[in-house]
Chain A
Amino acid sequence: MEDKERTPRASMTRRSFAKLSALAGAAGAVGLAAHGSLTETDQAFAQSGVERVKHHTVCHNCYNNCPCWVYTEDGVAVKIEGDENGTLSKGALCTKALNQLHLVYSPRHVLHPMKRVGERGTNEWEAISWDEALDLAAEQMATAVKKYGMYSVMVGAGGGGTYGNVFQRVTQDALGAPVCISAGGCQCYLPADCAGQWMRGGSNNRHEGNNAREMWNAWNPTMEAVVLWGAQTSASGAAYAARANADMRERGIKTIVVDPYFTEEAAKADIWLPVRPMSDIAMLLGWFNYIISNNLYDEEFCKYWTNYPFLINPETRLPWRAEEVWPDYVNPSADPNGVYDTPAFVCFDARTNSIQPFPFTLPENSPVDPVVFTTAVVNGVECPTAGQIQWQEAEPWTLKKTAEVTWVDADRIEEAVKLYATTKSGIGTGQFADMSELSSNFIFGTMALDMLCGKVDKPGVVLTEQKPESRWTHRPTQFWCTRPYQETFGVGWTVGLTLEENTRRSQAAVDAWNAKGVDGEKKRQDFVDYQRARLGSDRHKAVHQWQLNELAPVREALLTGEPYKISVRWEQVGNKYCTMSNGEEWNQAYATLDYCIQQYPMMTSTTFEDVDLFLPLQEWLEFEHGSEMVTQFNQTFMRKQVVHLGETADPFIVATQLVDRLCEKLGGDDQILDRDFQFNGTYRTKEDIYPEWAKAFGVDDWEEAVQHSEDHTVTVPIEDLYQYYQYLDIVDDGLPAGFATLSRKCEPYVTMAVLNGRYGFPYMFPFTQDSPDDYDTEYDAVCTYKEQSENMLDDDPDYPFYLTTGRVAHYHHTTLRNAPYSRELMPVPDCRINPRDAEKLGIEHGDWVRLWSRRGETRGRAYLTEGVRPGVVMMERFYFPESFDETQKNPSGGWRQCNVNLMARDDVVNPNFASASWRGYRINIEKSEKPEGIWVEPEEFQPFMPTLQSEPNTEEVFHRA
């Protein structure tokens, strides 16, 4: 694809245009000359304005990584526009990307490390050097470690697309500090990540990142319909999804949208199912029922490529192994070398009408014709197949009952499920269910439905894997998130390998430590202990997937010192007061901390309330990178540093430097768990990492190449991007590849969930994690009917409304609230309410309202719309950086005024994933007043307008050693 280069002759800056008008005007001042056209000038004049330099880079305002062009004049960024060569984005950019011009030069962009002066909450700071800052931070952390141990250091992580999304886990693993919390994670994407890996050894059905790409396959379009289940792609994938969706509709793809709110996707859907909020599990079971009852599922696929036909031992809740029934059974697919694990299970064979061993083979070579939905006696026990277990859950859910419970017309439901089941289609999901008690049931259910219908790894479905790397030459294996824990610490199970091989690898890691003079057994034990020390993980054993903790116990620990003291907090992202529930309680909890460090580009409510030392990070125009967050669709871009102000630093470098400094203070690298533990390419200086990035892009010298970053985009050809039928490739054991799951097949019966609940598997191997007496860790393995603890079916007259939320394209997590061009358009979060409800309450459009739940209260500005069902209120999260602006008479943290999360809850969570409920709870609402300390009129945002354009570009502090 050719870049459209502009010839210098034709380019004209705004300044030269303005000059032209003035010239023309002056010429016309004498006499009555008409100046009716753009006046041609010569090239010399046109170029006598300031020279514009064009730079190619990637936005980092969310996780979509849209490519863009940035123009500078005299080193100052003056314009951003989309890159027309973006395969998906095609030159588009959303408001978030465009606002970077105001963010990087914002008076709120902190350019130097800042140490707090005076009490927390007084917002007084003094600038100090990086050396001082790192020293201070390390000193504080070291003090805490010496006094209380490493567990006393906690880390704060962020959501997708933020700087604090990934490397904080490196920090923890390097230190051996178990407490890490995120407003996302357990309640955002972690459930999907687990489900994808557990159920098909790969990616999931989430409409974000690089999943669900088949619907946008404009080159070989085969998809006929797609389900957008609680997904607002035009808001979450703002710069490209709207066009990509419009294009797919133009190609004839029908959309089924399941959403309580009349989103943009719902407005354009062929079928919209306006579900009662959080009734999605009921809807899913209705779909299961309809598809199974009407034989609309893919029987062949279910038989041979899912674990549905496996007979399940009701006691263990695990599929019977053939050897458990026939001890002398010889598994024909077992690896003679004992490395790869291809188990044989037990099914009810239709050919012989008896239970039989069920080895892994090509379908045509199978010795059995397994019955998918049945029960049979195994070892004297009546056992259902996995499919039967799902059917049992789904059986009551007739169309009639589903309609009653979900509040959607039965005919409409039938229309939708029929369209889904009888076409080339798939289900793509949004994040909503992850932030509720329903997280596991929802993701298991949606993925299982597609597996039931054989909608896996073929053209026209959602569950596909991309790129040639997705093809296997041996039995597929997977270590969760490809983290190197097994080879480093000897902990964790690689799915697809035998017990022997996993044990061997664990021992190999121990031996490697021993060889270095470190006690390997102890190191392994330390690692497992550190994992087990994650708070709440004994109840919710899947939090280990992302090294997270359940939220409420962390708060408890801060307040009580039990089970261990937490003394120092290292916050690696923005504003937890905005994104989490129980803000008041967290405020008290954080107050107990001895020291708090935050690294971020600007100060937030967190800074105001809790922070003692602030480390300034780069905005993305300043941020150079070559590995993380640089890919969109089939293109991987060089992320270029276009400007650099003051002493802002690279977030990866800050984390690594601080860990280094801590080691110094503690007296050596061996004082922490593993100083060199790194993945995702952390680095101490830019120089350190340049060779790796250069290699990734196939260039000799990164620094030279990135000057022309646009020339080095790595593009995967479309024919290589879209891959199908990977599971049918014959691999080196003569068998079809299958999937990187425990059974080598799709697992709509989520065996890993059972093992995880029992043993903390796969995270603890060769150890286990016990469960507490007072919590049932027999997690659901199939989609099981569940409602939120507070739901709309309850009779709850004190809280007659139901709160749900959603995304807007303008803001991502807690960012952009200091972007004046977005604030003037959307200054406060809209509290969407049905006009009929509003009338009864005497509320008019634009009135301020008070909302409250059993947890807390806040305010909102009413937006009357028939887009929400009566009884439902929709409001997104927000905070106000202006509340601590220097012009405020009574400065405050800005996180109380319109904070929907003050009403949310984390006291009841999803069993597997510890997902808290940021939505899906009962509230009440009444007319109220505008809160203090917030700006709403356009002109009020003047203090957010950029002021740093005259700051010189500087070399970054940790550029070179």
Chain B
Amino acid sequence: MEEIIQWPLVLFSLLAGAGGCAFAFAGASEFVGGTKRARFAVGIVSLVLVVVGGLFSVLHLASPQHVMAAVRHVFSFSGVSVELMVLGLLVVVGVVYLVLSKRSGVDGARKGFAVAGIVLGLLLAFVTGHGYVISAKAAWFTEILPIAYLGTSLAAGALLFLLVSLAADKEFSAKPWGVPVVAASIVGAVTIVAYLAYLQSAGFDVASQALVTGLAVACGIVVAIGCSIAILRCAAGGNRQTLTVLAAVGFVGALAGGLAVRMLMWLFSEGFMELFEAARVVLNC
């Protein structure tokens, strides 16, 4: 079967999810601790990721010239429609937030948009997975799937937030972020395990895709958590460069873990009945 893994869609959900969660962390940093400069940088990077991710999704479309039809139909609340809505809202909220960040005397409004950004960012990560929850595909027909999308996005987003913040503003302190980052990577790891367990119980042999499963475990769990714990250890007063490297490696690991989960989803995407496909193979006489 050709093109089993739909890479544009994988990259869409991965980048938009990671970007959305990174933005959520930026919004949270209004309350937990951080710097304006750092938040602004993360805001830009995460929105770019969200938009690039969105563009990737357009790459998947064979007839993008009809895309106005999607706009017209957005209140059908189909999976894709919801993604479109949330993504659109997040970009709007994000831009407004960034604009407000450059102004003064709008603290209340800015924080309000920050909260909206947190909600929408996390929501985006979730809904990019939730659209796949369809009865036709056993490997997709579980809420664990969007939860894993959210979890892996959360881990990647947290580490990206940390990485960009550290790189953009030397005033930024990682100290309050050790625990949240660890928590995020643990959430990511747990959701990865949960999805693997679901696949196995649904009759799929995860060992048959050893490479990708291994990637999920090695990167998404071990590397992400490992780096996060190391970050926690040196968060308070640790070497800035070390922290940045750990954040970078952790981010790549978490991202790879997220990639692996999404790849597994496609690799096990056999439908309930693939009748036309069966006809092609079986021949009909």
Contacts and interface: CB of A to CB of B under 8 A. Distances in A.
Interface string B54-78: 0000000000000010001101000
B73 A826 contact: no
Interface in B71-122: 72-73, 75
B75 to A, nearest CB: 7
A785 B284 CA distance: 37
Interface string A763-785: 00000000000000000000000
Interface of B: 68, 72-73, 75, 281-285
Interface string A803-831: 00000100000000000000001100010
A741 B249 CA distance: 98
Nearest to B74: A32
A32 B284 contact: no
Contact of B285 (A29, A31, A826, A845): A826
Contact of A28 (B72, B281, B283, B284): B72
5 contacts: A32-B72, A32-B73, A826-B285, A830-B283, A846-B281
A846 B283 CA distance: 9
A261 to B, nearest CB: 11
Question: Which of A29, A32, A808, A846 has the most chain B CB atoms closer than 10 A to its own CB?
Answer: A32
A830 B73 CA distance: 48
Contact of B284 (A31, A825, A846): A825
A297 interface: no
Contacts of A808: 285
A600 interface: no
A879 interface: no
A863 interface: yes
A938 to B, nearest CB: 9
Nearest to A863: B283
Nearest to A806: B285
Interface in A417-454: none
B213 to A, nearest CB: 27
A21 to B, nearest CB: 13
A29 B68 contact: yes
Nearest to A235: B285
Nearest to B279: A825
A826 B72 contact: no
Contacts of B75: 32
Interface residues of A, number: 11
A826 B280 CA distance: 10
Contacts of A31: 72
Interface string A143-175: 000000000000000000000000000000000
Contacts of B73: 32
Contacts of A32: 72-73, 75
Main secondary structure of the interface of A (DSSP, over half): loop
A13 B68 CA distance: 29
A863 B284 CA distance: 10
Contacts of B283: 826, 830, 863
B285 A830 contact: yes
Main secondary structure of the interface of B (DSSP, over half): helix
Nearest to B75: A32
Contacts of B281: 845-846
A573 to B, nearest CB: 25
Contacts of B68: 29
B239 to A, nearest CB: 57
Question: Which of B281, B284, B285 has the most chain A CB atoms closer than 10 A to its own CB?
Answer: B285
A685 B284 CA distance: 45
Interface in A829-856: 830, 845-846
Interface string A18-50: 000000000011011000000000000000000
Nearest to B282: A845
A229 to B, nearest CB: 21
Interface string A850-868: 0000000000000100000
B261 to A, nearest CB: 33
A268 to B, nearest CB: 16
A826 B285 CA distance: 9
Nearest to A808: B285
A863 B282 CA distance: 8
Given A28-B72, A826-B284, A845-B282, 16 more contacts: A29-B68, A29-B72, A31-B72, A32-B72, A32-B73, A32-B75, A808-B285, A825-B284, A826-B283, A826-B285, A830-B283, A830-B285, A845-B281, A846-B281, A863-B283, A863-B285
Nearest to A264: B285
Nearest to A25: B69
A846 B285 CA distance: 13
B67 to A, nearest CB: 12
Nearest to A809: B285
Q: Which 3 A-B pairs have the closest CB atoms?
A: A32-B72, A808-B285, A863-B283
Nearest to B66: A25
B157 to A, nearest CB: 34
A953 B233 CA distance: 87
Contacts of A863: 283, 285
Contacts of B284: 825-826
B72 to A, nearest CB: 5
B78 to A, nearest CB: 14
Nearest to B71: A32
A845 B282 CA distance: 8
A31 B69 CA distance: 10
A830 B284 CA distance: 10
A825 B276 CA distance: 12
Contacts of B285: 808, 826, 830, 863
Contacts of A845: 281-282
Interface in A198-247: none
Question: Which of B72, B75, B283 has the most chain A CB atoms closer than 10 A to its own CB?
Answer: B283
A822 to B, nearest CB: 12
B73 to A, nearest CB: 7
